[in-house]
Structure 1
């Protein structure tokens, strides 16, 4: 799956104020309170209540470093009663044996009659009663936490059992010819690290037919070792195949039916859609297909995953990414693999496969649209060798062996947090090699941690070294 990426250019979005269709992507709005009108340009804040993302008509906002949320929308979800006293401009929040009273624009609050001083008082903003979430939630006995990276406020019932939030480690297993054991051997060696495996098995044609070699050894091993097993469907980067498939209701339906047949036959728990290089004008059809697929598979217990091209903003006409509407797709998959690699690709100029700064920008955009607990960060276990005679792809081990052969010094780029080297071959041709390894991987794992993503997805099993997998196994996901 040697992905191509197109260079992207950051553009500024001019956003209309007070549009809350999807406030997670809004970066400017107009706020009206205290008789004044203000432009609010802070990055949006997300809210989680007992582990679930909560959407409100009026989004949370931050004033003087304190997060205010709509009183009724949020606290009634916690089981509290919220009442309003129009005469005294007071809001009452009652939960169990606690009563909190807040007065609009008054920093004095009461918890069971005992006074407390607020940093920021309750306010009426855009006709919504907004109250300081941390003060009230803690006051009625809930835990409250703030993640600065993801800008997520989490409210958790102290008595609620905390679900295991350990990260998912997924690996793609290739099977290019009968008897190919490259990925199988990696599965065997890393069975204690892998939570999920996607077999890179099926190729779809424009009519929805599936073909592919069945990796029975991979399937049997995964089942025997409690590794969650899924299969992938690819169009082999063929835009015309994708066009013919996606634009036809009949062909989409046929593919969905064929996927069901294969999952039942081989005992897969779900499917991964790896349809790439889709024409940008097929954007609506791509979303429609995923909706149809998800609404067919999810009710009967199958999991749906989709591979998404990395991007830092939504360019609807971009050749490589334009067809993938993150917002439109968000409801129609259980997992989203963000393929955050091939920042520099074979047909382009030499450079980092996945620089840490670029990956972080990709993640920031993704989590502004898709819940982070659905996102797996795609990580590469390979590199590229660029020269005037063409570009070659290397596994990590191959990258090291080529460097050794030509006596090249392997360097560490502190900006991209990537390994690279240069050498001249027997014909006098100069080469530039950039590759991923355990050291560059560590920077990506930090991003997964910092942004509280669901986990990682490795392309591909068998390309990695033991040191690479050890970095994952030894990672502190706290």
Structure 2
């Protein structure tokens, strides 16, 4: 795999000629939104195909997979644009296999809300081991409230071999964690039992594979109560064959000179769960300080600590796929950033004629631009180099896998990079 960074004078045709890959395939594989007006600093992932196939009359995805001794899901991972349509076109070329150096399999988790566009979900599912559905809110009395009907999502996940996971949190519908509800749950065993039983009933009824419990702002004062709750939940869920995970957003504090995190003994929690997802999602805040979303140099400090408290094979590295656009000057608590995808960021840079820069320690892309009202903006985003660096941490730390917040939009380059580095674990016997 090569990550080409667009230089002055580069065009999509010159890049195509240099790497001997058709323009149409470069665009499809990278989801390039601006092929006729590339931005300086934009990334394009180059992976040479090992086996190509030209579609013949009567071919189906299944027949092509069978002929080449691969799975249909592998074909969809290598050609995700095929998920957008029901037919194959005679004469079109699809990739059977890429030239890659995959050495291991990882598990992947994708978080989604129930209102995800079905086309986006279907395109994402071949890349997922687990689909975590963010749809259930716990009350202080142990009841569980669901926001939307997620029956179709659960069935689609199973159709594609992704294990559907029920996520339970104390977040309000506005996305704010309710500390009073959390306190009441953690300090009332009878409420915990009600909550566990209600979750169990939902999992049975809807056919979930397991549960993912979201906990925020874990401190040294609350960790013992959380551990006791997880112990109760673990005994009940595991006795019925359900997998139990916990999503943790390590509390970080940032000042002008450094970023720190509270060193908590997370081993008290890990013994009761099958996986711990360390999420960098707490940095993905629209009112946050303009910066890279969990810079790799700071992330390493956290991971170095984590691997000494939790067996690495239980850990998932949480990655957020979004970038943010801030108007300047930034006013703490008042300036609201706009969440954007990498393709959004690329188009902004291209339309404004500004180069995309790259911060090496943070492994994140950024640039400044001035809008039509003459207001200066700064954009921080993740490009192919950013995703490559974070995906590489999974192998470096021997983690179980990657967790993506969220899959509400399909990040073509991100999945392309993951697909070239790792095999994707499947739990439901479909691949």
Q: Which TM-score band applies after superposition, normalised by the shorter structure?
A: 0.5 to 0.7
Deviation at 1:351, TM superposition (A): 1.2
Aligned to 1:415: 361
Deviation at 1:426, TM superposition (A): 2.8
Pick aligned residue for 2:392 from 429, 434, 446: 446
Secondary structure, counterpart of 1:233 in structure 2: strand
Aligned to 2:221: 281
| Residue pair 2:142, 2:192 contacting (<8 A) in 1 also | yes
Q: Against the structure 1 CA distance between its residues 241 and 462, is the aligned structure 2 distance closer, same or farther, given a 3 Å change threshold?
A: same
Deviation at 1:460, TM superposition (A): 0.6
Within 1, Cα distance between the matches of 2:396 and 2:209?
29
Deviation at 1:405, TM superposition (A): 4.2
Instruction: After TM superposition, list the pairs within 5 Å mapping 1:12-51 onto structure 2.
Output: none
Aligned to 1:244: 184
Q: Against the structure 1 CA distance between its residues 279 and 426, is the aligned structure 2 distance closer, same or farther, given a 3 Å change threshold?
A: farther
Secondary structure, counterpart of 1:275 in structure 2: strand
Deviation at 1:280, TM superposition (A): 5.9
Pick aligned residue for 2:239 from 260, 285, 299: 299
| More off after superposition, 379-388 vs 323-332 | 323-332
Pick aligned residue for 2:111 from 167, 172, 178: 172
Cα RMSD of the aligned pairs, angstroms, is: 2.6
Instruction: After TM superposition, list the pairs within 5 Å mapping 1:1-16 onto structure 2.
Output: none
Within 2, Cα distance between the matches of 1:407 and 1:396?
16
Deviation at 1:173, TM superposition (A): 1.6
Deviation at 1:359, TM superposition (A): 1.8
Within 1, Cα distance between the matches of 2:322 and 2:387?
11
Between Structure 1 and Structure 2, whose CA radius of gyration is higher? 1
Aligned to 1:81: none
| Residue pair 2:217, 2:249 contacting (<8 A) in 1 also | no
| Residue pair 1:243, 1:279 contacting (<8 A) in 2 also | no
Deviation at 1:304, TM superposition (A): 0.4
| Residue pair 2:137, 2:170 contacting (<8 A) in 1 also | yes
Pick aligned residue for 1:233 from 159, 162, 168: 168
| Residue pair 2:290, 2:378 contacting (<8 A) in 1 also | yes
Aligned to 2:80: none
| Residue pair 1:377, 1:453 contacting (<8 A) in 2 also | yes
Within 2, Cα distance between the matches of 1:198 and 1:368?
27
Within 2, Cα distance between the matches of 1:229 and 1:323?
32
Pick aligned residue for 2:132 from 192, 198, 202: 198
Q: Is 1:434 matched with 2:368?
A: no
Aligned to 1:221: 156
Deviation by residue 1:71-128 (Cα, 9 ceiling, x = unmatched) = xxxxxxxxxxxxxxxxxxxxxxxxxxxxxxxxxxxxxxxxxxxxxxxxxxxxxxxxxx
| Residue pair 1:421, 1:433 contacting (<8 A) in 2 also | yes
Q: Against the structure 1 CA distance between its residues 225 and 467, is the aligned structure 2 distance closer, same or farther, given a 3 Å change threshold?
A: same
Greater share of strand residues, 1 or 2?
Answer: 1
Within 1, Cα distance between the matches of 2:152 and 2:355?
39
Deviation at 1:227, TM superposition (A): 1.1
| Residue pair 1:233, 1:272 contacting (<8 A) in 2 also | yes
TM-score by length of 2: 0.65
Instruction: After TM superposition, list the pairs within 5 Å mapping 1:59-208 onto structure 2.
Output: 166-175=105-114, 180-182=115-117, 184-208=118-142
Aligned to 1:107: none
Deviation at 1:243, TM superposition (A): 1.0
Q: Is 1:375 matched with 2:300?
A: no
Q: Is 1:474 matched with 2:420?
A: yes
Q: Against the structure 1 CA distance between its residues 440 and 248, is the aligned structure 2 distance closer, same or farther, given a 3 Å change threshold?
A: same
Aligned to 1:103: none
Q: Is 1:394 matched with 2:328?
A: no
Aligned to 2:50: none
TM-score by length of 1: 0.59
Higher relative contact order (CA 8 A, sep 6+): 2
Pick aligned residue for 1:456 from 377, 380, 402: 402
Deviation at 1:285, TM superposition (A): 1.6
Within 2, Cα distance between the matches of 1:464 and 1:324?
34
Secondary structure, counterpart of 1:427 in structure 2: coil
Which runs of no fewer than 5 residues in structure 2 stay unpaired? 1-102, 172-176, 254-259, 425-431
Q: Against the structure 1 CA distance between its residues 324 and 266, is the aligned structure 2 distance closer, same or farther, given a 3 Å change threshold?
A: farther
Aligned to 2:21: none
Within 1, Cα distance between the matches of 2:348 and 2:219?
37
Q: Against the structure 1 CA distance between its residues 401 and 251, is the aligned structure 2 distance closer, same or farther, given a 3 Å change threshold?
A: farther
| Residue pair 2:104, 2:422 contacting (<8 A) in 1 also | no
Greater share of helix residues, 1 or 2?
Answer: 2
